Structure 1
Amino acid sequence: MINDKLPKIWYGGDYNPEQWDKEIMNEDLRMFKLAGIDVATINVFSWALLQPSEDIYDFTWLDDIIERLYTSGTYVCLATSTGAHPAWMARKYPDVLRVDFEGRKRKFGARHNSCPNSPTYRKYSERIAEKLAERYKDHPAILIWHISNEYGGYCYCDQCADGFRTWLQARYATLGQVNKAWNTNFWGHTFYDWEEIVPPNALSEERTGDNTFFQGISLDYRRFMSDSLLECYKLEYNAIKKHTPELPVTTNLMGLYKELDYFKWAKHLDVISWDNYPSFNTPTSLTAMTHDLMRGLKEGQPFMLMEQTPSQQNWQPYNSLKRPGVMKLWSYQAVARGADTVMFFQLRRSVGACEKYHGAVIEHVGHEHTRVFRECAELGAELQTLSDKLLDARANTRVGIIYDWENRWAVELSSGPTVALQYVDEVHKYYDALFQQNIQANLISTEADFSNYDIIIAPVLYMVQKGFAKQIEQFVHDGGTFLTTFFSGIVNENDIVTLGGYPGELRKVLGIWAEEIDALYPDQSNQIVLTESWGALHGQYQCGLLCDLIHAEGAEVKAVYGSEFYQGMPVLTVNKFGAGQAWYVASSPEPSFLQGLLGNLCKEKGITAPIPPVAGIEVTTRTTANNSYLFVLNHNDQPTSIELGDLTGTDLITGEPIKNKITLPPKGVLILEKNESTQNSIKS
């Protein structure tokens, strides 16, 4: 439970009453009650109002807003407002302004515009956080602290250059170690003085995006920037905890956001919260995977859905409306995957600037007689009835998929072998193969407790961090099943190739070595030809992107390539290692192959789906100590029948008894509280 002051699934969202007069706020509070809204996130971008000048602080307006919300029955998620510094600060202390990738000094404007290594920004952001905590430490309205907002963006100023050098000294101790880690003998890059090291941007090592001449330098700068922003967060966190140690603290993450290592950040968040903004055509399984990643950041602990739009976004090229039922469906998807809150951006639409066309519970018309409001009110009423059942329920899974931000940076910074290799896409292919079979998986870090899993999948494990290979060897030796893929085991944590043949440190457990890597053009493919039928797999399948040319050295060959000069060479192998087995998939296969492969591996471990898969139907489970809840979500645009087998129970939303078979309407949701006799039927 996030905070037992409000022991239910929290329902609400971002609210900006400072943009409105009191009469409009009174109307909003009336409509909050109609919609079942009980939490408002406030003060997200109000630093300029709280601190109009360097020495003046004014909290009177915030006092009034918090009190009015609480008196009306709405609790507060209180932000620290440090996501955008005030204009006076930028004018008086230009060190707060970032320098962009092109080397240009920013002016005041936009948001996320503060240099994370600016002494001024760190000083005043810590101070405002502490003043807020000291002022509101005893206010009963405050449920949770929300630090800054959607941290992100890199800076390349002289302060960051100095900070980078200090960070490198702490990491490597000597310039000699830096030169070794970065292989600076290449292109005459040897450094003889710390001051010679500069940030990698368009003026030095990088061109655009992830195109860099020196992967080691660029990789370390990403680590440094992630750490720098984290240090800013921790300054505010510690200032708040000094006064309110009992209140949870969070900041809103952004799912698959590339620039920050969220597993490292998660250690410093009391609860994970994140903002979910899929497009209309985002694959359902990719959104599900992102929810599972957010849940996995704290090893299965329920998380907060901090933001989603009730209707439409404003920042994508084409901002379509959520069709009727989609908002509720996607909200329940978050709950199904582990969310203990359903919150929106925003509760009322702004009248000006770039977010005036971003959807809201209360539209510009200003009353409750809208489609969006009616849907939000329906969901609010439903959450009131089922919250006590689902709160703090967990997802018990036996399959873990490794997701590693540093590995992603390294993969996509790599100069070759193909521009088409995208880390998230390859992870998603394996996740989707399980998703389509109603088998749940956790997204986990390389530091997770592997003993909690029967199967661990590590797609494109290009970078092998120190000690990870030994962890995998122990996991497999003890009876686990490990699977990794092409372009794995290539480099160490400094992006230096492990000599002696790919897959480097994983060679022993996998029982293979890779001699070459062939990059296929988009219109090229090869074939995976099974040596014999195995369960759901038989015949041949298409593969592409990359093809590792591997040799078995102890591993059993399960499939070979069907064409090219490496026809007949292994493409799928398994190596028995201790009591377990390690699999290697040497290319990127078509979906049907992955479904068959992972289905077979799960079956061998006794991992089965709770109900048979149906196209367009998402199935997942949350459990408490005493109960199990099956979520069945219909993402189809038509009614869909689903066989439940022997499962019986009660639909938490309607209260109706359920057994054998159901037909869900388009975008419909079933939350089945299983009868005691079927509590043990879900194994995955």
Structure 2
Amino acid sequence: MINTKKAKIWYGGDYNPDQWEKPVWDEDLRMFKLAGIDVVTLNVFAWAKNQPDEDTYHFDWLDEMMDKLHTDGIGVCLATSTAAHPAWMARKYPDVLQVDFHGRKRKFGGRHNSCPNSPTYRKFAARMAEKLAERYKDHPALLIWHINNEYGGAGNCYCDNCEAAFREWLKARYGTLDEVNRAWNTGFWGHTFYDWEDIVLPSGLSEEWTGANGRTETNFQGISLDYIRFHSDSLLECYKLEYEAVKKHTPDVPVTTNLMGAFKKLDYHKWAQHMDVVSWDNYPRFDTPHSYTGMMHDLMRGLKAGQPFMLMEQTPSQQNWQPYNSLKRPGVMRLWSYQAAARGADTILFFQLRRSIGACEKYHGAVIEHVGHEHTRVFRECAQLGKELAQLGDTLLDARVQAKTAILFDWENWWAVEMSSGPSIALRYVDEVHKFYDALYRSGIAADVVSVEADLSSYSLVIAPVMYMVKQGVADKLEKYVQAGGTFVTTFFSGIVDENDLVRTGGYPGELRKLLGIWAEEIDALLPDQRNRIVVSAGTPGMKPEYECGLLCDLIHSEGAEVKAVYGEDFYRGMPALTVNKFGSGEAWYVATSPEASFLQDWLSQLCASRGIKPHIPSAPEGVETTLRSKEGQDYLFVLNHNADAETVELGDRAGIDLLTGRTLKGGRAELMGHDVWIVKLDR
């Protein structure tokens, strides 16, 4: 539990008093009270203000604000300010500047603009973190440390420091050049390395180029895959330096850094091992599926085995960097805040509390708008939510989401899938994962989103869409899981390569072949407007006779698996499209193509029902989301209506009291207003 110093869901967000004159501070504090704000994130981008030159540090403004906030009963999430180095540092120590994909040295500007392997950057960043920890270690307002901000948000670095560090990283990973040559298959195109100094970074000057669709392409997937791993690890090392600096002085204060959901550049499963609390920034577009946002919350929760997380940032209304920055309609900010809480958030924080007046975020929404007073729609909605969170108190704190279904999500697999030289440019790993998640979401079935290293023993059903990369030991782990009675589902383009992106010979799906009881001979890539059909075996409960499919079609042969559906078109008409293989006490399914959404919803609903996995309520209309959090034997049912109009919800035998209104829900059918939410303390 992170909220031990405030026995409630934290409410507040990013505040930049360093951008304002002092008379504004007191007015802001007055409005914070009106809005129910009790936690403020400070100092995110104040490095230049705090350190005007190499040897001088000024914290007077921060001292004063920390004291003012504490006097007003507001706690502080204190950032280390290191996400943008000062201009003097770039001028005096140019090694802090990144080199881009095309070999060009950057100048000062932007943010996340530091080379992660710059000795200068690492020295000054760790020193700043320690200065802050020394100064505020005993300050009563300090609740949690916020290291840097949104790591990885700028381009990768290709400087000489990074190249030298990459060689050292390779030595630690592989030990010898012979092993590097084996892992990278350097016999191809005569790339064999005989000296560590011969290895250069993959970039626009060497192995990579930007393809027609804007995606980075590469001649050597093994080299590029290791560079992505190295880059993620390099930034993680920077984080760990600051983590250790603050922990040295404040060992009992939790530490986090704000993640960004399915952010491709960083392996968050690895990062989470070094975070006391996971936090993340949620910025869906106006047309982002609600199930996708739900999946991102569940992904963040799954990084630390179901531990509640922090919603570090969301906008009260408008965003500023998307092509079309729509307002959040009345009630939507509240609804989406409770969606985060429903899926494990123990904080509701915004970016930002007051709108800045200049630069690229001046039109990003805030609790306090440019008009500067509380008489706005956005402020009224924020104040309403603040009042409700105070009313909830500690009721939901540390409550857990219970799921019997897991979806495996693997960053390294994602990297490998999308840097593959085939078979289809349209294959997007996250999209395929979301298709399965969305089917469960629409059926009201809870799912954890976890890594391949997670303990799977508590799950009745484990789904691994597009498990292209099967790392060492994973196939054996899955066999043991199914042998013991588990149900495993995977899809087309799975079991193809090892962790070095080397194809496992002997037939697809490689190490999964015995478990799945199939052999995939070929993989057909369909054009965007092409479709095939899945013809379901007659008499299959809950399924239509036929469904559309597309993208990729594996041409598979059964090696003991039972065929449940076949293709309906093309020269492979009649070949298996869906199979199940009995294995020990469990079974393993293979979906050989990418089916339409209704197939997954119909099939997964039946599969879950057969495993005793039930939805939260008997049925919910389209656009109504349900989930459940549990604490000390008490269940709390969240029902969220994402529709603008009221919907009738069938609760079945679920009955209890809505904590937000005090209304008693006696089960059966009940009406939920548009963009409204129930948090039902269920009868035991």
TM-score under structure 2 length normalisation: 0.98
1:39-78, aligned counterparts within 5 Å?
Answer: 39-78=39-78
1:664 aligns with 2:666: no
Q: Which whole-Å CA distance do the structure 2 matches of 1:360 and 1:463 have between them?
A: 42
1:162-561, aligned counterparts within 5 Å?
Answer: 162-208=164-210, 209-561=215-567
Q: Which whole-Å CA distance do the structure 1 matches of 2:26 and 2:670 have between them?
A: 43
Q: Which whole-Å CA distance do the structure 2 matches of 1:452 and 1:428 have between them?
A: 22
Q: Which whole-Å CA distance do the structure 1 matches of 2:161 and 2:582 have between them?
A: 52
Q: Which whole-Å CA distance do the structure 1 matches of 2:18 and 2:313 have between them?
A: 19
CA contact (8 A) 1:42 1:77 kept: yes
Q: Which whole-Å CA distance do the structure 2 matches of 1:274 and 1:43 have between them?
A: 17
**Alpha-carbon distance, 1:73 to partner:** 1.5
CA contact (8 A) 1:490 1:498 kept: yes
1:681 maps to which residue?
Answer: none
Amino acid at match of 2:143: L
Q: Which whole-Å CA distance do the structure 1 matches of 2:391 and 2:3 have between them?
A: 19
Q: Deviations over 1:550-584 (max 9, x none)?
A: 00001001111101000111110000000000000
Q: Deviations over 1:85-133 (max 9, x none)?
A: 0111000000000011121111001000000000000001001101111
**Alpha-carbon distance, 1:533 to partner:** 2.5
CA contact (8 A) 1:3 1:248 kept: no
Q: Which whole-Å CA distance do the structure 2 matches of 1:464 and 1:387 have between them?
A: 45
Q: Which whole-Å CA distance do the structure 2 matches of 1:536 and 1:214 have between them?
A: 46
CA contact (8 A) 1:311 1:322 kept: yes
Q: Which whole-Å CA distance do the structure 2 matches of 1:600 and 1:229 have between them?
A: 44
Q: Which whole-Å CA distance do the structure 2 matches of 1:182 and 1:538 have between them?
A: 46
**Alpha-carbon distance, 1:169 to partner:** 0.5
Amino acid at match of 1:354: C
Q: Report the 3-state secondary structure (helix = DSSP H, G, I; strand = E; otherwise coil) of the residue aligned with 2:145.
A: strand
Q: Deviations over 1:280-308 (max 9, x none)?
A: 00000000000000000001000000000
1:504-653, aligned counterparts within 5 Å?
Answer: 504-611=510-617, 612-653=619-660
Q: Percent identity?
A: 69
Q: Deviations over 1:384-411 (max 9, x none)?
A: 1113211110000000000000000000
Q: Which whole-Å CA distance do the structure 1 matches of 2:504 and 2:105 have between them?
A: 40
1:83 maps to which residue?
Answer: 83
**Alpha-carbon distance, 1:661 to partner:** 2.3
Amino acid at match of 2:105: K
Q: Which whole-Å CA distance do the structure 2 matches of 1:447 and 1:535 have between them?
A: 34
Q: Which whole-Å CA distance do the structure 2 matches of 1:661 and 1:131 have between them?
A: 58
The more displaced of 647-656 and 426-435 is 647-656
Aligned pair count reads 676
Q: Which whole-Å CA distance do the structure 1 matches of 2:512 and 2:93 have between them?
A: 51
**Alpha-carbon distance, 1:538 to partner:** 3.3
The more displaced of 593-602 and 514-523 is 593-602
Q: Which whole-Å CA distance do the structure 1 matches of 2:442 and 2:313 have between them?
A: 27
2:156 maps to which residue?
Answer: 154
**Alpha-carbon distance, 1:171 to partner:** 0.5
Q: Which whole-Å CA distance do the structure 2 matches of 1:123 and 1:533 have between them?
A: 68
1:111 maps to which residue?
Answer: 111
CA contact (8 A) 1:535 1:596 kept: no
1:654 aligns with 2:661: yes
Q: Report the 3-state secondary structure (helix = DSSP H, G, I; strand = E; otherwise coil) of the residue aligned with 1:575.
A: strand
Q: Which whole-Å CA distance do the structure 1 matches of 2:243 and 2:14 have between them?
A: 20
The more displaced of 97-106 and 248-257 is 97-106
The more displaced of 611-620 and 517-526 is 611-620
Q: Deviations over 1:181-226 (max 9, x none)?
A: 0001111111111111111111111111331111000000000000
CA contact (8 A) 2:620 2:650 kept: no
Q: Deviations over 1:585-617 (max 9, x none)?
A: 000001111012111111111011121131110
Amino acid at match of 1:665: M
CA contact (8 A) 1:532 1:558 kept: no
Q: Which whole-Å CA distance do the structure 1 matches of 2:77 and 2:601 have between them?
A: 42
Amino acid at match of 1:164: F
**Alpha-carbon distance, 1:424 to partner:** 0.3
**Alpha-carbon distance, 1:3 to partner:** 3.5
Unaligned 5+ segments in structure 2 are none
2:7 maps to which residue?
Answer: 7
Q: Which whole-Å CA distance do the structure 2 matches of 1:320 and 1:537 have between them?
A: 39
Q: Which whole-Å CA distance do the structure 1 matches of 2:198 and 2:616 have between them?
A: 59
Q: Which whole-Å CA distance do the structure 2 matches of 1:61 and 1:540 have between them?
A: 67
1:145 aligns with 2:138: no
1:679 maps to which residue?
Answer: none
Q: Report the 3-state secondary structure (helix = DSSP H, G, I; strand = E; otherwise coil) of the residue aligned with 2:54.
A: coil
Q: Report the 3-state secondary structure (helix = DSSP H, G, I; strand = E; otherwise coil) of the residue aligned with 2:425.
A: coil
Q: Report the 3-state secondary structure (helix = DSSP H, G, I; strand = E; otherwise coil) of the residue aligned with 1:451.
A: coil
Q: Report the 3-state secondary structure (helix = DSSP H, G, I; strand = E; otherwise coil) of the residue aligned with 2:406.
A: strand
Amino acid at match of 2:642: H
CA contact (8 A) 1:528 1:559 kept: yes
Unaligned 5+ segments in structure 1 are 677-684
Q: Deviations over 1:291-348 (max 9, x none)?
A: 0000000010000000000010011111111111110010000000100000000000
Q: Report the 3-state secondary structure (helix = DSSP H, G, I; strand = E; otherwise coil) of the residue aligned with 2:318.
A: coil
CA contact (8 A) 2:432 2:466 kept: yes
Q: Report the 3-state secondary structure (helix = DSSP H, G, I; strand = E; otherwise coil) of the residue aligned with 1:65.
A: helix
**Alpha-carbon distance, 1:532 to partner:** 2.3
**Alpha-carbon distance, 1:626 to partner:** 2.5
Q: What is the Cα-based RMSD across aligned positions, in Å?
A: 0.7
Q: Which whole-Å CA distance do the structure 2 matches of 1:397 and 1:647 have between them?
A: 18
Q: Which whole-Å CA distance do the structure 2 matches of 1:610 and 1:323 have between them?
A: 27
TM-score under structure 1 length normalisation: 0.98
Structure 1 runs of 4+ aligned residues shifted over 4 Å read none
Q: Which whole-Å CA distance do the structure 2 matches of 1:599 and 1:613 have between them?
A: 14
Q: Deviations over 1:44-97 (max 9, x none)?
A: 000111111101111111111111111112110000000000111000000000
The more displaced of 189-198 and 462-471 is 189-198
2:682 maps to which residue?
Answer: 674
Q: Which whole-Å CA distance do the structure 2 matches of 1:537 and 1:267 have between them?
A: 42
Q: Report the 3-state secondary structure (helix = DSSP H, G, I; strand = E; otherwise coil) of the residue aligned with 1:391.
A: coil
The more displaced of 199-208 and 392-401 is 199-208
